[in-house]
Structure 1
Amino acid sequence: MDQPKSRPKSASERRTQARIDLRIPVEVMLPGREQPLVAHTLDLSWGGALLHVIDALPTDTESLVLHLPWRGGKTIRALSQVLRQQPLASGGFQVALRFISLSPRSQNRLERLLLMLQPQPSQPGDGQPTLFRELEVTVGDAEELRQILLEILNGYYQVTVFEGYQVNQSIRLSITGVSDLPTIRLRARVLSVEKSSVKGHDWAELYTLSLGFEHPGKTIRTFIDLVLKQLSDTASELSNYSSYLEGAPGWLKSVASATEMPPATPNPTVEIRSYLESEFSETIKLLAAAWGHVTDFEPVLNNLLFGEGCGLPDGWPTEAWEELKLLQHVHEQVYGATAQQR
């Protein structure tokens, strides 16, 4: 078999997308055919594959479905665009494919396969290209995440970045939320790149990217609908936490309200202090320091309730005990509990 000719690589791809030499049998499903065509891979990457086939594909073949083998008889299924095919002197044809749609499950399997096959660098930082280029977008709150998801729901997303990208480059879009917002990772393709400018940032080269997505449309819609529902449910649940805070100390209301609605303006002429605030200010400081972090808060509270944290020979007064149990209940409702507490 002839040595395969490498697909033309853009400078961006050379830096960011590794192609791995791989010789394995695969199945190719052509449109209108019931039986798969057997082929062999020559190389594999995040963005596509290079195949060797015995017979030429029909000249009007624009797309096909590639089945890569996976564990337990399962496969990695990738809807692929046929970029080109060319004959080899020793026989057969070389076919270049670009992946254009994978289910989340197939995408996960593809990433795991590439990670297993990727050669380890001889030295750290030796310039070896990574498996894919990642664009990370950070959102500050649930509403910002919601607006991005609604845009993606329409099939595209625009974002301004400081680095240039190649048109048709396949990347991973990671939408990372602060606090308890979920991180969402999608396979995307750069549809267009335009230079742009933002007032006050004339010193920087900025680019506006238009992204499309390489997952089945129905899958994306189902996934985003689920995330949007979770965001709505979370907002609804948080808005109901005020009922748990009735009669709670002012410091707790101010801390807990950071996870829900902006706190109401307190009555400046009235200050309600809890028993813990009045009699055990150091205990309040301990709880406030750990508030919002389940793995930190539970040991602190358990030590106060059942360990040496009380320090009183007769245990907590009834008023303090009831307030501590109230704080435990509110914290579990807002932030959840560890497996040991469930």
Structure 2
Amino acid sequence: MTQSESGSMAMERRTQARIDLHIPVELALPGQDAPVRAVTRDLSWGGALLHLTEPLPNDLETLILSLPWRRGKSIRAQAQLLRARPHEGGYLAAVRFISLSPRSQSRLERLLKMLHASDSTTGAGGKNALFRELEVTVSDTEELRQKLLQILEGRYTVTVFESYQVGQSISLSITGTFDLPSIRLRARVSDVRKSEVKGFDWAELYTLSLQFEHPSNTIRTFVDLVLNRLSDTEDESSTFSHLEGAPDWLRSVAAATVRSGASTRSAEAAGGDETRSCLESEFPEAIARLVAGWGNVADFDMVFRSLVLSRNDQQNAWSREAWEELEMLQSVHDRAYGVSANRRSLLKGGRL
């Protein structure tokens, strides 16, 4: 591992929450048919720390990591091996995620958000954010098109008021005003330079160079889709031409109405693969109760039973998606902390 890689890893430990999580994962190594089994020690937006019983090949650079998801599905990430060393009769390996499909990225975010509140390893000073988000606003179709063409080349440059660290993995949101589409991608900072812009002498500015952590064919398909949509989108000036000369408050209300409609259409088009989980959206009180019992096998079992049984006879019972998320959380807790004696004896280890 180079010195720059070491610095990058240390930076991510300070700025991204690392969730203490012990679950079995599989590693697919180049040239090997059989997967290598490992157990996570912690998990974050940027990567994971793994414990293995056998050493990884000395010349290994990248691998595919598969985290368990609900109903036999998985979260798959291409990862770069940063370092490995002997530890307690086995080996510790730090990996950095370098490419995820949009679906796996969405699942990873949902898992991290559901587990973040229950993690107690960040200390009394408060929890680190799961990830850092950079939001860029575009005001017209041509500006968005130029940014999309940059993204299509696998890179993007932007000037910001805050410094970022080289190697930092972030979420990039490009938000269009009025009815322009919005874009959200996973990116890594490849370069940071101080900038000077006329009229902004009073501020420290930085130009970031970003590279994207999604498969190139996925980015191309996505950009082509948005570009095609732009061809059917009216220009902002024509959309609001009838409001020319109107008071600012009236134009603001009109713009907000259009944005709200566009957001609704985008959510409908996206289907069920939202970053925000069903439990967070529909049953926040359930999340709070599960967090209170997290880490204690008996307490978690009692809370879980209470939640499930209390809604069985109600009209607002768990939706299918909420139930799947509950099962996933129970499965993660079982793997991390074990199954309660009550469930082992009465249910023989089955799901409640």
- Bin for the TM-score computed over the shorter chain: 0.5 to 0.7
Q: How far, CA to CA, are the matches of 2:94 and 2:117 in structure 1?
A: 22
Which residue number corresponds to residue 343 of structure 2? none
Compare the two structures and name the one with the higher helix fraction: 2
Contact 2:136 2:174 in 1 (8 A): yes
1:259 aligns with 2:239: yes
Distance 1:258 1:22 in 2: 52
What is the identity percentage for the equivalent residue pairs of Structure 1 and Structure 2?
Answer: 63
Aligned to 2:297: none
After TM superposition, the structure 1 stretch with the greater mean CA deviation from structure 2, 22-31 or 193-202, is 193-202
Residues in 2 aligned to 1:213 and 1:289: alpha-carbon distance in whole angstroms: 34
8 Å contact from structure 1 (residues 14, 129) kept in 2: no
Cα distance in 2, alignment partners of residues 292 and 163 from structure 1: 29
Q: Which residue of 1 aligns with 2:111?
A: 113
Give yes or no for contact 2:8–2:167 (8 Å, CA) kept in 1: no
* Cα RMSD (Å): 3.1
* Residues 60 and 12 of structure 1: CA distance in aligned 2, closer, same or farther (over 3 Å): closer
Cα distance change, pair 179–288 in 1 and its aligned pair in 2 (3 A): closer
**Residues of 2 paired with 1:21 and 1:180: CA distance?**
41
Distance in structure 2 (CA, Å) of the matches to 1:211 and 1:94: 29
| CA drift at 1:50 | 0.4
The equivalent of 1:97 in structure 2 is: 95
- Aligned partner letter, 1:91: G
How far residue 120 of structure 1 moved from its aligned partner, in angstroms, is 5.4
| Correspondence 1:134-153 to 2 at 5 A | 134-153=133-152
- Number of the residue aligned with 2:324: none
Q: Greater CA radius of gyration, 1 or 2?
A: 1
Q: Aligned-pair distance for 1:16?
A: 3.1
CA distance in 2, matches of 1:292, 1:96: 47
Match of 1:174 in 2: 173
TM-score by length of 2: 0.64
Measured in 1, the distance between the counterparts of 2:252 and 2:178 equals 16
**Aligned residues, how many?**
248
Q: Which runs of 4+ in 1 moved over 4 A?
A: 7-12, 287-295
Structure 1 11/198 Cα, relative in aligned 2: closer, same or farther at 3 Å? farther
| Conserved? CA contact 2:178–2:255, under 8 Å | no
Structure 2 alignment gaps of length 5 or more: 1-5, 243-249, 269-352
Distance 1:87 1:288, change over 3 A: closer
1:1-342 superposed matches below 5 A: 13-14=12-13, 16-88=15-87, 90-119=88-117, 127-235=126-234, 258-259=238-239
Post-superposition Cα deviations, 1:168-206, rounded to whole Å, max 9, x if no partner, equal: 100000001111112211000000001111112112111
1:196, 1:288 → 2: CA distance?
34
Relative distance call for 1:93 and 1:8 in structure 2 (3 A) is farther
Distance verdict in 2 for CA 1:61–1:289, change over 3 Å: closer
- The one-letter code matched in structure 1 to 2:162 is E
Query: Which has the bigger relative contact order, CA under 8 A and spacing at least 6?
Result: 2
Post-superposition CA distance 1:284-315 (Å, at most 9, x none): xxx999877879xxxxxxxxxxxxxxxxxxxx
Query: Structure 1-normalised TM-score?
Result: 0.66
Q: 1-side partners of 2:35 and 2:152: how far apart?
A: 33
CA deviation after TM superposition for structure 1 residue 8, in Å: 6.9
Counterpart of 1:272 in structure 2 is none
The answer as to whether partners of 1:157 and 1:210 remain within 8 angstroms in 2 is yes
